[in-house]
Chain A
Amino acid sequence: MTIALTRPRTVRLRSLRLARPGVVLAAMFLILALIAAAWPGLFAGDPLRADPLHVLEAPSGTHWFGTDQLGRDVFARVVHGARHSLSISVSATLIAVGSGILLGLLAGLSHKLADEALSRSFDALSAFPLVLLALLFIAIAGTGTTSLIVAIGLSLVPHFARVVRAQTFVVRRAAYVTHAVAFGAPRSRLVLRHVLPNVLGPIPVLAVIGLGEAILLAAGLSFLGMGPQPPSPEWGAMISEGRGYLHIAWWASVLPGLVVTATIISLTVAGRFFQRRFEGRELP
């Protein structure tokens, strides 16, 4: 008699087929957004070309998303805006993940008092409104794209630091770490070879969901005028500019807004999908 060590193939195939139209849609949308960020010219023309004869025109065959107050094609601006918005959010998320791992490791590996102080501040800060944290940084460092990226990154740090700390706390007590200590492994090797790789497990999933938050925050802050200045096509800034013409041209702000929303929903759906995969739970 043989014992099946893996699940039968048919089951996996079925669960793949059932992988939900939502997940497939989300994946497709994200891929499109990535392509748009990499080669915006592939989809759309010049985002800065103004056309005074066709100002605030409704969506049509030639202008899919209509035109804005200067006659610029809103669709082209949204496509080119993907590069701005995504690079801001991705850089911010990288800052958050990097510093989060560092601080989390530091807290999880340090002595009781320091750990207590650090993890309490992570807890408190991660419950604090992100917008306020980011605005506080911008108030100190001034407005601008770099400052926006760092502000978003720093306000997301506590989330990652918290998770890494919790993981570190578990891993440092694992048998293989104790063994490595018993074999006299130096501290640096202990941290880099044994603790760090085992702490990183949940990070990719969290990073995907964190990226969604970064996009939301970036759009919000540049809506407030804290991000790239006009005429650069950034999603939040476009929504903010279009706000002034809402009474005659809803498309100039609502359609870019819908793209932001679709991106964030796609990231959340993808993140949750990976999370279920990662935790080995079946799709409900």
Chain B
Amino acid sequence: MITAILRRAGAGVLVLWAAATAAYLALLAAPGSTVDAIIGDGADTPGIRAQITSEWHLDRPAVVQYLDFLWRAAHGDLGRSYLLQRPVSDVIGSQLLPTVKLAAAAAVFGVLLALVLALVARRLTSTFGLVLVSTPPFLIGIVLLSVFSFRLGWFPVSGDRGFAALVLPAITMGLPIAGTLAQVLRDGLDRALDEPFAVTARARGLRESAVLTRHALKHALLPAVTMLGWSFGVLIGGTVIIEQVFGRPGLGQVTVQAVNASDLPVVLAVVILAAAVFVVINTVTDLAYLLIDPRLRRS
């Protein structure tokens, strides 16, 4: 058990190192020099260039810069934004909360809806899932916005003030998750209901709903846990677009702005942050698997 944990943690560190290195290579590979990117539209004289070069330590050998970059990244210092001239960690830290709130609300809604769908409306799940997974999330958002905000006026049109502003974005992002998760859950339930223990439970005179919730659901949850890593991807990718649709502040907005301005340190920091969350979630999922299913511990 302990070796399993250590091995997974080690693999996680390796992935992070790879992500950071890839990020560094991306910085090097970007067309145009770093100095040009920092100057942007500002004044451009040899004096300013020399000042930037020494200020950003661009005169040192690439290897030293790389090691320095790794060392600082390990301490949470991801450089300075070219565009905003502020430390990247500040920029991200100040915008983290709205995004986390949105992602958490969407995840809770998605999981609950998936459970309801898989348990109650099992016949509908596959069509529903197909439609939800194939619909661009921003279209769901736009339809919801058009009906509930503009037509009915139940929810605010944009911003992040109070719970009401969270409802529509969370539903928009939660729906695709619910679609896929419900399909996985339903497949698991169908498999579990074919097992001998389901027959036994029925033979004991349990109601179908009790067989479902008390016996089959546990087995169906296992493959659903694997989907956690995937739904994280949907959440991260989703925030970028959904925040734009609903005019919410957050990491997604920061990312889009940074991409448009070629503000690489910010983009790379977002990618590294996503990789870190990704590693943590996958490690936790793997370990949760070991905890939930005793059969896996033996092998």
Known A130-B237, A268-B134; judge A140-B264 contact (CB<8 A).
Answer: yes
Docked-complex contact B244 and A224, CB < 8 angstroms: yes
Docked-complex contact A136 and B142, CB < 8 angstroms: no
CB under 8 Å from chain A, chain B span 240-272: 240-241, 244-245, 255-256, 258-260, 262-264, 267-268, 270-271
CA gap between A131 and B255 in the complex, in Å: 11
Docked-complex contact B241 and A223, CB < 8 angstroms: yes
Tell me whether B199 is interfacial, beta carbon within 8 Å: no
- Identify which of B258, B268, B278 contacts A127 (C-beta below 8 A): B278
Docked-complex contact A257 and B134, CB < 8 angstroms: no
Tell me whether B29 is interfacial, beta carbon within 8 Å: yes
Docked-complex contact B15 and A265, CB < 8 angstroms: no
Known A143-B260, A216-B136, A247-B150; judge A265-B244 contact (CB<8 A).
Answer: no
Q: Count contacts on B: residues with CB < 8 A to the other chain.
A: 47
Tell me whether A92 is interfacial, beta carbon within 8 Å: no
Tell me whether B105 is interfacial, beta carbon within 8 Å: no
Tell me whether B275 is interfacial, beta carbon within 8 Å: yes
Which of A124, A139, A224 is packed against the most chain B CB atoms within 10 Å?
Answer: A139
- Identify which of B142, B241, B262 contacts A131 (C-beta below 8 A): B241
CB under 8 Å from chain B, chain A span 136-169: 136, 138-143
CA gap between A135 and B259 in the complex, in Å: 7
Tell me the smallest distance from the CB of A86 to a CB of chain B, in Å: 15
Known A139-B267, A260-B136; judge A129-B274 contact (CB<8 A).
Answer: yes
Docked-complex contact A135 and B267, CB < 8 angstroms: yes
CA gap between A114 and B5 in the complex, in Å: 25
Docked-complex contact A140 and B29, CB < 8 angstroms: yes
Tell me the smallest distance from the CB of B142 to a CB of chain A, in Å: 5
- Identify which of A140, A236, A253, A264 contacts B134 (C-beta below 8 A): A264
CA gap between A141 and B262 in the complex, in Å: 8
Tell me whether A258 is interfacial, beta carbon within 8 Å: yes
Nearest A residue to B275, CB-CB:
A128
Docked-complex contact A219 and B136, CB < 8 angstroms: yes
Tell me whether A239 is interfacial, beta carbon within 8 Å: yes
| A residues in contact with B164, CB < 8 Å | none
Docked-complex contact B138 and A220, CB < 8 angstroms: yes
CA gap between A185 and B259 in the complex, in Å: 50
Docked-complex contact B233 and A127, CB < 8 angstroms: yes
Tell me whether A19 is interfacial, beta carbon within 8 Å: no
Tell me whether A94 is interfacial, beta carbon within 8 Å: no
Tell me the smallest distance from the CB of B127 to a CB of chain A, in Å: 9
Tell me whether B48 is interfacial, beta carbon within 8 Å: no
Interface size class of A (residues with CB under 8 A): 35 or more
Docked-complex contact B26 and A129, CB < 8 angstroms: no
| A residues in contact with B259, CB < 8 Å | 135, 138-139, 143, 224, 226
- Identify which of A136, A142, A225 contacts B26 (C-beta below 8 A): A136
Docked-complex contact A121 and B267, CB < 8 angstroms: no
Nearest A residue to B127, CB-CB:
A22
Known A140-B264, A268-B130; judge A135-B240 contact (CB<8 A).
Answer: yes
- Identify which of B31, B134, B258, B271 contacts A265 (C-beta below 8 A): B134
Docked-complex contact B139 and A261, CB < 8 angstroms: yes
Tell me the smallest distance from the CB of B204 to a CB of chain A, in Å: 30
Tell me whether B131 is interfacial, beta carbon within 8 Å: yes
Docked-complex contact B131 and A131, CB < 8 angstroms: no
Tell me whether B143 is interfacial, beta carbon within 8 Å: yes
Tell me whether A254 is interfacial, beta carbon within 8 Å: yes
Tell me whether A13 is interfacial, beta carbon within 8 Å: no
A-B contact pairs, 5 of them (CB 8 A): A127-B229, A135-B240, A140-B30, A239-B138, A246-B142
Q: Known contacts A131-B241, A140-B264, A219-B138; can you find 19 more A-B pairs with CB under 8 A? A: A130-B237, A132-B274, A135-B256, A139-B263, A139-B267, A140-B26, A140-B262, A220-B138, A223-B241, A224-B241, A224-B244, A236-B136, A239-B138, A246-B145, A254-B143, A257-B139, A257-B143, A258-B139, A265-B130
Chain B contacts to A: CB under 8 angstroms: 15, 18, 26, 29-31, 130-131, 133-139, 142-143, 145-146, 150, 157, 229-230, 233-234, 236-237, 240-241, 244-245, 255-256, 258-260, 262-264, 267-268, 270-271, 274-275, 278, 282
Chain A contacts to B: CB under 8 angstroms: 121, 124, 127-132, 135-136, 138-143, 212, 216, 219-220, 223-226, 236, 239, 243, 246-247, 250, 253-254, 257-258, 260-261, 264-265, 268-269
